[in-house]
Amino acid sequence: MKKTIFILSILFAFSACTHPAKDMDEELAVIDFGGNVQNSASDILSLSFLKLQTSDNCLLGAVSQIRELKGYYYLLDAFVSRKAYVFDKQGNFVTMIGNTGNAPGEYISPSSLLVDEVKGILSVVDPSQHKIINYSLDDYHFLSESKIPFSSSFVEKLSDNELAWYVSDYQGDAPHYGVYVTDNDVQTKKKLLELEFVSAYKLGMNRKIYSLDHSVYAYSHYSPVLYHVQSDSVSPVYEFRFGKYQYPSLDFFQKEGANFKNYINVLMESSYVNFYEVFESERLLCVPYFVEQTMYFGFYDKDSGRIYNYEQKDIQEQLQVGAFSSPVGVTSDGRFVSLLRPGLLKEMKGKGIVLNKDLAKLVDESNEDDNPILLFLH
């Protein structure tokens, strides 16, 4: 299915909630995921799998992020074990990074990982202790840590001397900003991506910042616009549309979320898109979104200009992966990484659901409580 990408001149103010003050005169590509798909997901996506070793030293609960560098996978389980792990390209467990605690070099509630190949540093962000902890990529020993003087859980490298942080909405009195630029010692240099609405209530992932090819991109819960982050400005890159479904307007958020009211139930009972996420490789944009109790996955092929849109159940059947979910990372060679649970797949296979033959073999070799199987899509 081929759709038109509309190029709009940004000479107007967005009606959405995120409203940067600069660089609004650049062209914005509008990507509309509405409509029917003629191509099977198996026609546009290639897939492979990696079974992760399971041992008492690396029992993964809920992997929330994966970083990859030179054949090593750095996994963060932010919600169950609350630890960071290293696996090699064969899926063998290498080591755990750091220890749990409040001493120097220790974390309590890690929220994200950052890998700096140039400096040979792997960093763990711990918002509960307001610090970022740096470890050596050579042997994973503790190097240093810095206090974070604002509320943030997610960071990307902006340059050799700068970091870009996606911050929580509440940072004192208005105006509120979605991105802080700091130096490597986490001293604030610039606040970007001004927000016209803030709330403690959100759906979807809280991580709304990522990097690709040495560039950083960010978006907010309250606007379907993706921005390119630079040292002193943000500029819009894509606006996402969802066919017959609308994204909530600023008026909706300000009315239903007035006085910090919980608007989530109203949003989920509406026909608005509840939330979306963005994952990007050199070739593809992957945009999962949720509306009317249904998860969809939109794909935009940047090379061909083609747009594809699938319901979750359809992409699961077409790829024969049983239980497809949103990616938790993108590898350096452009593969989206999702997680597959052996126990759930065993149950589905027992009910006659057809699995990809390579995946079925790994499932047969697994126990129900084994660590997840990594699904790579590209």
Is the residue at 300 inside a domain?
A: yes
Q: How much is the mean pLDDT over the chain?
A: 91
pTM of the entire predicted model: 0.91
pLDDT (tens digit, 9 = 90+) per residue, 247-258? Answer: 999 999 999 999
What percent of the chain is predicted at pLDDT more than 70? 91
Is the residue at 274 inside a domain?
A: yes
Contact 312, 294 (CB under 8 A): yes
Is the residue at 293 inside a domain?
A: yes
Q: How many domains does the chain have?
A: 1
Is the residue at 245 inside a domain?
A: yes
pLDDT for residue 14 = 29
What CATH number does residue 345 fall under?
Answer: 2.120.10.30
Question: 9 has which bridge partners?
Answer: 27
pLDDT at 12 over 90: no
Is the residue at 170 inside a domain?
A: yes
pLDDT (tens digit, 9 = 90+) per residue, 319-334? Answer: 999 998 999 999 999 9
pLDDT (tens digit, 9 = 90+) per residue, 31-46? Answer: 999 876 779 999 999 9
Q: How confident is the model at residue 26 (pLDDT cuts 50, 70, 90)?
A: low
pLDDT at 2 over 70: no
Is the residue at 223 inside a domain?
A: yes
Give the Cα separation of 345 and 360 in Å (integer): 8
Is the residue at 1 inside a domain?
A: no
Give the range of the structural domain holding residue 80, as residue numbers without chain letter: 6-377
Is the residue at 164 inside a domain?
A: yes
Q: By mean pLDDT, which of 132-146, 164-178, 227-241 is the weakest?
A: 164-178
